[in-house]
Amino acid sequence: MSIDEAKLHEFLGKAVGDLGAAISATLMIVGDRLGLYKALAQGATTSQELAQRSGTNERYVREWLGNQVAGGYVQYDQGSGLYSLGDEQRLCLADPAGPVDLPGAYFIVEAAFHALDRTVDNFRSGNGMEWGDHHPCLFHGTERFFRASYNANLLDSWLPALDGAIDKLRSGGKVADVGCGHGASTILMAKAFPATEFVGYDYHPASIAVAGERAAAAGARNARFEVADATSYGDRDFDLIAFFDCLHDMGDPVGAARHARSALKANGHCMIVEPFAGDRIEDNLNPVGRVYYGASSQICVPVSLARHGPALGAQAGEARLREVVVEGGGFSRMRRAAETPFNIVLEARP
């Protein structure tokens, strides 16, 4: 067999880069848990000073910094021997209110390793794995990673993109957040629109308990949370029903859309926020698609298959979602209202 040395080295270069990223995943979590990124955000420092700021051991911190500089996550000035975070790094690594909470995403990676034995079995058997069967770090990481996007886009971009929805929320309406998890999106909207009633639904009792605690701590008195799946909640006459990054996970997404259609007012809105994806596999062969296919195969597809669902996956695409929402769910029309590098935002109307 003839080997193209140039192609071999190109491939190995990519593989070594991925290996470095993989072995660094736990160190991202270490940096977050021990407050190393937040301590770095206070200003340029030596490894000794960083260890003192964070209450950690300097020898370990020195090695951690080497890893982070080599990966491009921390800056190092050879002349002064100081380590620092650039403004963009600080936003993504040390600011929970920043545009992307990167350390939060790595708790999702941690959850994938906790579930590895189940994942191997699922690939062989075709079985699924319920959301609630995952390690709690999945729920924590999911809240953090998606909350950053909601903070950056939900109030200023996504809701205003819905035709007339903002006026209803300002004057006092009724909103359901289906599959609300820890309630980050529900609470954000409730704080912004105090005249509107918000109800968060999730079939995972532990998440609903956390959501209630989060709402109380935030003073969001117009938000309440109930344990219910997407086809069983009983309230009606909603002005807006939202699905944030969850419809593709569901065992019965068509039933969820149909139930939402019946629970909406005649002039209501259904907002479906989904991972960014094109309709063809070749549209998704990019870094974002790689992340989502990875999460989908280990988390999203198993959750749906656990309930004998269609396993839409995190890269379902707008055309497939249209089949679910319009053709199956009974909505008359659906359009793409907004998008980000990580999400598409669809508006469906009765």
Range of the domain at 67: 5-95
The distance of Cα 218 from the centroid of its chain, to the nearest Å, equals 21
Q: Give yes or no: residues 194 and 333 share one domain.
A: yes
Please indicate, yes or no, whether residues 275 and 252 belong to a single structural domain of this protein.
Answer: yes
| pLDDT tens over the chain, length 350 residues | 788 899 999 999 999 999 999 999 999 999 999 999 999 999 999 999 999 999 999 999 999 999 999 999 999 999 999 999 999 999 999 998 888 999 999 999 999 999 999 999 999 999 999 999 999 999 999 999 999 999 999 999 999 999 999 999 999 999 999 999 999 999 999 999 999 999 999 999 999 999 999 999 999 999 999 999 999 999 999 999 999 999 999 999 999 999 999 999 999 999 999 999 999 999 999 999 999 999 999 999 999 999 999 999 999 999 999 999 999 999 999 999 999 999 999 999 99
| Statement to judge: residues 190 and 207 lie in one domain | yes
Are 308 and 252 within 8 A, CB to CB? no
* 165/81 same-domain check: no
At residue 2, the pLDDT reads 84
Q: What is the pLDDT of residue 99?
A: 87
The answer on 221 and 188 residing in a single domain is yes
Reduced to 3 states (helix: H, G, I; strand: E, B; else coil), residue 86 is coil
Strands (DSSP E) found in the chain? 75-77, 82-84, 174-178, 197-202, 223-227, 238-244, 264-275, 333-339, 343-349
CA-based nearest residue to 165, from 186, 193, 185: 193
CATH code assigned at 51: 1.10.10.10
Spatial contact of 310 and 316, defined as CB atoms under 8 Å apart: no
Same domain, 76 and 115: no
Q: Both 30 and 172 in a single domain?
A: no
Together in a domain, 91 and 109: no
Mark whether 43 and 71 lie in a shared domain. yes
**Are 155 and 91 contained in the same domain?**
no
The predicted model scores a pTM of 0.93
pLDDT of residue 96: 82
300 in the same domain as 201:
yes
Domain end residue (candidates: 95, 124, 152): 95
Structural contact between residues 39 and 74, judged by C-beta atoms closer than 8 angstroms = no
CATH value at residue 194: 3.40.50.150
Final residue belonging to a domain, choices 78, 95, 112? 95
Among 73, 95, 117, the domain boundary falls at 95
Structural domains of the chain, count? 2
- Integer Cα distance of 164 and 166 in angstroms: 6
* Same domain membership, residue 126 and residue 56: no
CA distances from 138 to 80, 108, 299 (A): 40, 5, 9
